[in-house]
Amino acid sequence: MKKFVITALSCTMCLGSAFAKDRVTHDPNYTNTETILHVWSWNFPTIAENMKTIAESGFTMIQTSPVQECYSPEGSNKKLFDEKEGNWYHYYQPTDWTIGNDIVGSRDQLVAMMDSANKYGVRVIVDVLPNHTAFDINCVSENFYKAVGGKNKMFHTDGLKGITDYNDRYQCTLQGTGGLPDVNTENPRFQKYYMQFVNDLLSLGIGGFRYDTAKHIGVHSDPVDKKAGVKVNDFWDVATGRKAVKGVKLAVPYDSLFVYGEVLQDRNVPEAEYADYMGQTASSYGHVLREALAHRSAKGIDLKQWYHSAAPEHLTTWVESHDTYCNAHESAGLTDAQIRTGWVFLTARQNGTPLFFSRPMGSTRQNYWGENLCGIRGNDEFFHPEVIAVNKFRQAMNGEKESIEISEDGQVFVVNRGNKGAAIVNISDKANPLALPTGLADGEYHDEVYGCLFIVKNGVLYGTLAADRTYIIH
């Protein structure tokens, strides 16, 4: 198992690198090659058992569900969604910052999973959520309360009040998100306790983090909790290794990690300021892409721009996330084939780091929860031949700029990558002819999955596309 050596030197290294990153200025020559599989609600043994398939499917990273101790009433946390036998969101309710819970597994099981990830060269990132605790604050461990200085030091002054206006930055950063109690993330004792947890994960080889509800943790320009004696919102300075807290600091160079924040886009969100610290989610782009998929046409929809103030090479992108699938089922009505066509288009592009949400095993458009069990593998879509083909295409196209062509009716897309390859996508539920410009040389080509014939003549790509299908050609 790969472990990081925690040294004073590594802490010194991360100080300078954290300040140097410009995540706003786009480099038009930069190409992203990585992909993330969100192994949502899989437990550690299940992930380990499937690591070979994950790697062979072309995914370079996995994102686990939260691994810290969480809300766990007796007999619960067996089902994804059930009034008596648990809910997936229980692991989004921390009760302590120690590794292991009854959904994803124990610390020893995490260690075994890391051995498997290291064997197959897959980076593991963990979903962390320092912004809040469990709804029931009486379930929070006494050790946690003691570590932060007592229950009265755990939360912001108005942290037990729910947010009513998410565009009010005071409410957004100092009150409860979705009713979850808002932690005083500026409390140095909390920061120390949290960073000890982070460093423990890093010592096991974890290679990055997804920060849940990141936009609800304030940056310097946001209001501070003066009643709690706060002078500056410095959580992100501590979390990214710019400063130590009570002798504890991020244990590895920050730039060696893959870190992004769930900064869901809305009015008044200081995206550029968050970009100074980390990558961010391209939530608006995901919404626009799903709109095109749902309408089975991108006519009148601009899918070329990224709808974000940060540079696209520092965005984490998706067709859907666990929230869009589970919360209001915003994306759950899209068929697996529609999600797949969106994934191929998104992943063939030059920039962004796409995340593939693993839907529940056995899920259908009538039964979103499928087998409805925590811990088991998701459905087969993550190793569908089209998904594998585009994941590997993405890596093969390193250094090649994109050129996107869309048919007049908005149903057919071609993502050209220089003169080296092209991804072809039909989002219609009907067969479609193809005649769009390409950088490929004139000649005959057969796609990677189906072996279908495509012809390039005078710089135009011709072929016939089946409904809801994608093709990769080199």
- Active-site pick, 182, 237, 262, 448: 262
End-to-end, the C-alpha distance of the chain in Å comes to 37
- Specify the higher pLDDT residue, 12 or 273: 273
Give mean pLDDT, residues 433-462: 98
CATH class of 8-400: alpha beta
Cα 32 to chain center, whole Å?
A: 15
Domain positions in the chain are 8-400
User: How sure is the predictor about 84, in pLDDT bands with cuts at 50, 70 and 90?
Assistant: confident
What is d(CA 249, CA 34) in angstroms, rounded to the nearest whole number? 28
Average pLDDT over residues 270-298: 98
Distance between CA atoms of residues 436 and 427, nearest Å:
15
| pLDDT higher than threshold 90 for residue 459 | yes
Tell me which amino acid residue 56 is: E
What pLDDT, in 10s, does the model give residues 130-179? 999 999 999 999 999 999 999 999 999 999 999 999 999 999 999 999 98
CA dist 382 and 375 (Å) reads 17
CA distance 132 to 254: 23
What is the arithmetic mean of pLDDT over 354-375? 97
What tokens does 275 get? 């970009």
Element (H, E) at 456: strand 453-457
Give the pLDDT score at 19.
53
Predicted confidence at residue 431, as pLDDT, reads 98
Catalytic residue (one of 127, 182, 186, 212): 212
**Known catalytic residue at 212:** yes
Q: What angle do CA 306, 257, 143 make, to 5 degrees?
A: 115
Condensed to tens digits (0 to 9), the pLDDT of residues 110-129 reads: 999 999 999 999 999 999 99
pLDDT above 90 as % of the chain: 93
pLDDT in tens, 325-337: 999 899 999 999 9
Average pLDDT in the 266-271 region?
95
pLDDT attached to residue 86? 83
What's the chain's average pLDDT?
95
Instruction: Work out the average pLDDT over 241-262.
Output: 98
Position with higher pLDDT, 258 vs 16? 258
Cβ neighbors of 1 (< 8 A, separation 6 or more) are: 111, 114, 115, 118, 204, 205
83 tagged catalytic: no
pLDDT at residue 233 in the model: 98
